[in-house]
């Protein structure tokens, strides 16, 4: 599975934790550059993880809209493994 992470400058151990959940390809956009809002989502993405405490509302809305168009599920969480794990649990159960 592949995941696109949007937001945050540093990811710490989050990529390692995501690998333990079965993600083999992990891409990251900091969300700080204007071009990140203008660009499209990569083609081969299964899940988008948006760090709500690191992106502005405009970028979050664009990511959500683009993900819906492509049929890609989106997870919104704070940049903390506890929040990500909780959102992931709700994601796979719902």
CA distances from 11 to 23, 78, 81 (A): 15, 12, 10
pTM: 0.88
Model pLDDT, residue 39: 65
Give me the DSSP letters along 21-77.
Answer: TT--EEEEE-S-SHHHHHSPPPTT-SEEEEETTTS-HHHHHHHHHHHHHHT-EEEEE
Model pLDDT, residue 17: 95
Model pLDDT, residue 54: 85
Low-confidence residues of the chain: pLDDT under 50: none
Helix (H, G, I), strand (E, B) or coil at 93: helix
């Amino acid at each position: 599975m592949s995941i696109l992470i949007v937001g945050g400058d540093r990811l710490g151990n989050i990529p390692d934790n995501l690998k333990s959940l079965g993600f083999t390809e992990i891409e990251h956009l900091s969300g700080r550059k204007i071009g990140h809002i203008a660009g499209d989502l990569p083609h081969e993405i299964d899940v988008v993880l948006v760090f709500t405490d690191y992106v502005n509302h405009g970028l979050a809305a664009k990511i959500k809209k683009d993900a819906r168009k492509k049929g890609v599920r989106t997870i919104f969480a704070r940049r903390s493994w506890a929040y990500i794990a909780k959102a992931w649990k709700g994601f796979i159960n719902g």
